[in-house]
Structure 1
Amino acid sequence: MHAYLFPGQGTQFPGMGKELFEKSKLAQEYFKRANDILGFSITDVMFEGSAKDLKQTKFAQPAIFLHSYILVKTLGNEFKPDMVAGHSLGEISALTAIGSLDFESALKLISKRASLMQKVCEHENTGMAVVVGLYDVIVKDICNQIDGVVVPANYNALKQVVISGEMKALKEACEKLRPGALAVVNLPVSGAFHSPFMEPIIEEFRLAVEETEFKKPICPIYQNVKGRPTSNIELIKENLINQLTHPVMWRHTILHMIEDGATEFTEIGPGHFLRRLVGQINKNMKTHGIS
């Protein structure tokens, strides 16, 4: 069974999508539509913007979605998923790829999600860091010892956990984790995603989700909150909302996909982060990338 994976924030890079735009008329059409839908030139930011520009949530999220979705459209009938999953933002990319959302609805929802998250980022001094080489229980225990809000946000692999929180607490947690870890690295994101800091935007995002039309997808999606498959529209929507304040259970997601019959994984979008994680979770699994 063939599983497709869609990356999330942090995989953006300057110049992303430019080569795709130059080589494909179909890509040009979608990029131009995106500029119209968003009300600003996302192509200018993607093709000419700096890494600092693209780090901003309001630009990073639609840029990554566009990169992934347009790649899917260029595949045409070659895209035949048995199951899909997306990492954080990538969950909306995945849902659009399998027909649960149409392009315009997805982009509007992402724009709303990104603007809400950006608003939190501008009012709170927060961030995220990845911890490599320590078991998640150790990372969680040290976070619990910190005076301030810092929590595990992404359970990416057996010994790779992303933590999220207010900058002072995040820095203190990193200092405590660093001696036992292989690496502790700050991430190129502008806020504390998948943490209690996203709580103030939940109801507004819920309203945006409820106003968006979802259709039954062509295959199951394994969502971040539980890591289990679903095709149920109401559950899909609830999981999307809960994802904002809950950790991304990525390792559990991949293990459940393998348990349910996945034999190969293809990552669609910028970078190769998810492919590497699959390799860490199961070294024998066949992985590909379309970027």
Structure 2
Amino acid sequence: MSLLSTSKPVVLLFAGQGTSTVGMGADLWDINHTTRSIWDCASDITGKDLRRLCLKGPMNRLVQTSVQQIAVSVINTTLYTLWCEAATGVDIVGSCGHSVGEYSALYAAGILSLEDMFRAVHYRAELMDELSKCYKGSMLAVKSLDYASLSALIADSDLPLEISCDNSNQQQVIGGVPQLLNEFVPLLLQQGCSSIKLGVSGAWHTALMSEGVEPMAQFLRGLQFNQPRHQVLMNVTAQPASDADTIRRNLSLHLTHTVKWTDSMTHFLQAETPCQFVEISNKAYLTHLLHDYPMYKPDNGVHCRQLLSRMA
């Protein structure tokens, strides 16, 4: 019998970067042979000692995207594998990953193999890290504004900033040159909005990453994309994709386009049959965002660790 008691279809949500902490994943890598093999696979492909980096940092190294993206992905994958062992017989109808978490969602759907998923994330992370050194950028999380309102405020400011992530009708993330973001903060304060600088090393999902789109596309052409076991909503379109070329194109444009998380969650929340959201991440974040949606019922979201804690 499954440890997850639900008759509802399940939608898996995979976290992206931005919430890293020293020590993350330390409780996961040595649980059994399967978890050890996942961490070994990621370390072999990247050439990084991920156990040591996650355990000891230092933090300024851990937040570098070349480390953080693969660290997030290996934690997501490990938790997903453990969750699957506990939640047998569950009807998974969809998955969606926030930013780099999209690669974990593709793996969960069987579109990418474990090895190819880590290869893609490693290439993406190294590429974005190099671009961030050439085109300095930063990101701010903005509370109490929806996408349309923030877009209008940016347009009125005449500052070349972009909305990187449309997370909910109460939270957006903007990216751009640090000096320009600093100039924009007083305008946010005038609107009664708070902002938090994110622990990332570049302005992801903005034009500052434009030079990476074609190299990313070329790299992805060398990977095999399989037919999905369940629906995967892509960040760039907030629509499901199953065609390999479409998925490759979306993943490439992902570097410069807004993460349409609000539209993706609305898609699932408006489904004819209510679903159970399960967040796969080191710590809860995406399930908290669901509370910003009027149609969301609080008992329809759970973090994977709540299930796994019952196994201990």
- The answer to whether the 8 A contact 1:11-1:64 is kept is no
Structure 1 unaligned blocks of 5 or more: none
2:50 maps to amino acid: I
Residue 288 of structure 1 corresponds to which residue in structure 2?
302
SS in 2 for 1:40: coil
The reply on whether 1:125 has 2:136 as its aligned counterpart is yes
Aligned residues: 291
Residue 151 of structure 1 corresponds to which residue in structure 2?
162
Q: Give how far 1:141 is off.
A: 1.9
Q: Give how far 1:229 is off.
A: 1.9
SS in 2 for 1:251: helix
The reply on whether 1:265 has 2:244 as its aligned counterpart is no
1-structure distance, mates of 2:144, 2:220: 37
Q: Give how far 1:266 is off.
A: 0.3
One of 6, 14, 25 as aligned partner of 1:17: 25
One of 49, 53, 58 as aligned partner of 2:61: 53
One of 101, 105, 121 as aligned partner of 1:94: 105
2:285 maps to amino acid: F
What CA deviation, in whole Å up to 9, does each residue of 1:161-192 have, x standing for no partner? 11010111111112211222342111111111
Instruction: State the 4+ residue runs in structure 1 displaced beyond 3 angstroms.
Output: 145-148
Q: Give how far 1:120 is off.
A: 1.2
- The answer to whether the 8 A contact 1:142-1:173 is kept is no
Residue 7 of structure 1 corresponds to which residue in structure 2?
15
Q: Give how far 1:137 is off.
A: 2.1
What CA deviation, in whole Å up to 9, does each residue of 1:88-116 have, x standing for no partner? 10100100111110111111110100011
- The answer to whether the 8 A contact 1:152-1:247 is kept is yes
- The answer to whether the 8 A contact 1:147-1:169 is kept is no
| Identity between Structure 1 and Structure 2 (%) | 26
Residue 28 of structure 1 corresponds to which residue in structure 2?
36
Tell me the TM-score normalised to structure 1 length.
0.95
SS in 2 for 1:21: coil
Residue 229 of structure 1 corresponds to which residue in structure 2?
240
- The answer to whether the 8 A contact 2:83-2:304 is kept is no
1:207 maps to amino acid: Q
SS in 1 for 2:17: coil
Residue 249 of structure 2 corresponds to which residue in structure 1?
238
- The answer to whether the 8 A contact 1:134-1:181 is kept is no
1-structure distance, mates of 2:102, 2:40: 23
Q: Aligned Cα RMSD in Å?
A: 1.5
The reply on whether 1:188 has 2:199 as its aligned counterpart is yes
What CA deviation, in whole Å up to 9, does each residue of 1:228-278 have, x standing for no partner? 222222222211111111101101100001222342100001121100111
Q: Which moved more, 1:237-246 or 1:53-62?
A: 237-246
1:284 maps to amino acid: K
Q: Give how far 1:36 is off.
A: 1.3
- The answer to whether the 8 A contact 1:3-1:262 is kept is no
The reply on whether 1:84 has 2:95 as its aligned counterpart is yes
- The answer to whether the 8 A contact 2:269-2:296 is kept is no
One of 157, 182, 188 as aligned partner of 1:171: 182
2-structure distance, mates of 1:244, 1:2: 28
1-structure distance, mates of 2:209, 2:57: 27
Q: Give how far 1:47 is off.
A: 1.4
The reply on whether 1:161 has 2:169 as its aligned counterpart is no
Q: Give how far 1:50 is off.
A: 2.5
2-structure distance, mates of 1:124, 1:230: 31
